[in-house]
Amino acid sequence: MSTAIAEATADRPAVAVLPLAITAVGVATPAGLGLEALGRAVGDGIPGHAEEVLGDETPPPRPVRTVPDLRTAELIGRKGVRHLDRTTQLGLVACRLALDAQAEPMGERTGVVLGTSTGSIRSSSEYSMETLRQERPYLVNPSLFPNTVMNCAAGQIAIRHGLRGVNATLAGGHLAGVQALRYARNALRQGHADRLLVGGVEEFSAQGAWGWHRSGALDAEAPVGEGAAVLVVEPQAAALAAGRPALARVLACETGFAPRDGLAEGLASVVGTALRRSGKIPGEVTTVSLGCTGRTGLDRVEERALGLALGGALPGQTVRVKETVGECFSADGVLQIAAVLGLWQHEGRTRGGTAVVTSLSGDGLVGCAVIDMADPLG
């Protein structure tokens, strides 16, 4: 290795983490609509709504968690809703709730960063099924075609709210939340938008539930869930300048990739990096929000990684949002954050919270976001 390359290798991360202010939250979960309902359910251990979403197919025999009432007519409108699949409706409802929680309307230099895994697997697989079932394979409904494309929900959110900033859809699965926040921070830094709606969405469908059921990736008693969560974020300095109060700050969002036999060490490593880049020490962490509850084998990997990173036992407050909402795949990450914020509100906490939010995929992706309430929040 030449000296020049050795020097180049030595240039470790120089970028200071740009803190983001979370100024509003919109959630649609099996606890109901809104952050308060989620915070109460998580705080008081109230299980989420457990009825299946009706479709043409029967879901597998296992517990489910679904959003009880999307109130679409009231929150999205009546016209043009007919073609929107449940993924898009969940995303639109969560955005509506987030926007309604704002004092003033968002400008058109607002963008959207939305996490998914496959888009609506019900929409794409049903569309594919239609090509097999129809007398001629092309006798499909053209108006449903956009639903089969993964960026449908983000596009509809932009159209319905006139948001012309960056519009990104990330197929991150369980990592989508932390990836979306990382992507958002960079997009804000680059000026692709002034403010962003950062979210994750996952719908319940028989197709998806059978997929989980057959994959063996969930414990037998782990419910398949659904939900959407959207955070309104902007650079903390911009929120302060505009006098917009923040619910919390997003500090570091780190991701990495580990070999399958080194997932715990890989996750511990990104948690450590995330804390360092956030200027935090393990002793300051008050809360961890787990992403692997109910995921066979991975739940123990996650807890071991946190033990490694935090130097021993988990902190006093351990949030397991999936006990309320079920397995929400690409909505998990942002729901884990929303659950912390909802819980902090529910318990009346106004200062001093620092949360580590972990994400893990059996494929090797590991991620961690750090959220805090450090004052002054402005």
Which of 78/312 has CB closer to another protein? 78
- Interface residue with another protein among 23, 29, 118, 345 (CB under 8 A) is 118
CB 254 within 8 A of CB 371: no
d(C-alpha 359, C-alpha 302), whole Å: 8
Binders of another protein among residues 56 to 115 (CB under 8 A) are 57, 60, 79-80, 82, 108, 111-112
Which of 347/363 has CB closer to another protein? 363
Binders of another protein among residues 127 to 146 (CB under 8 A) are 127-143, 145-146
Distance of closest approach, residue 109 Cβ to another protein, in angstroms = 10
Q: Which residues pair with 295 in a beta bridge?
A: 218
Which of 173/223 has CB closer to another protein? 173
Binders of another protein among residues 4 to 43 (CB under 8 A) are 4-5, 8-9, 11, 13-15
Q: Counting contacts by CB under 8 A, is residue 350 touching another protein?
A: no
List C-alpha distances in Å: 352 to 2, 92, 240, 303: 48, 32, 19, 23
d(C-alpha 280, C-alpha 177), whole Å: 21
Distance of closest approach, residue 336 Cβ to another protein, in angstroms = 17
Is residue 132 within a helix (H) or strand (E), and if so which, with residue range? helix 121-133
Binders of another protein among residues 328 to 347 (CB under 8 A) are none
Residue 6: Cβ within 10 Å count: 9
Distance of closest approach, residue 193 Cβ to another protein, in angstroms = 9
Total residues binding another protein (CB under 8 A): 95
**Dihedral of the CA atoms 32, 126, 112, 276 (nearest 10)?**
80
Which of 217/242 has CB closer to another protein? 217
Distance of closest approach, residue 259 Cβ to another protein, in angstroms = 8
Half-sphere exposure of 9 (CA within 13 A, CB side): 6
Q: Counting contacts by CB under 8 A, is residue 214 touching another protein?
A: yes
List C-alpha distances in Å: 64 to 87, 109, 289: 17, 38, 21
Which of 309/377 has CB closer to another protein? 309
Distance of closest approach, residue 12 Cβ to another protein, in angstroms = 8
Which of 10/348 has CB closer to another protein? 10
d(C-alpha 137, C-alpha 130), whole Å: 7
Which of 8/313 has CB closer to another protein? 8
Distance of closest approach, residue 261 Cβ to another protein, in angstroms = 13
Nearest to 234 by CA among 26, 18, 15: 18
Half-sphere exposure of 152 (CA within 13 A, CB side): 25
- The site map against another protein for 170-209 (x = CB under 8 A) is xxxx-xx--x--xx--xx-xx-x-------------xx--
Which of 66/361 has CB closer to another protein? 361
Tokens of 16: 């200071």
Q: Counting contacts by CB under 8 A, is residue 55 touching another protein?
A: no
Helix axes 332-346, 176-189, angle to 10 degrees: 90
Binders of another protein among residues 226 to 285 (CB under 8 A) are 255-258, 266
Which of 131/350 has CB closer to another protein? 131
d(C-alpha 123, C-alpha 346), whole Å: 36
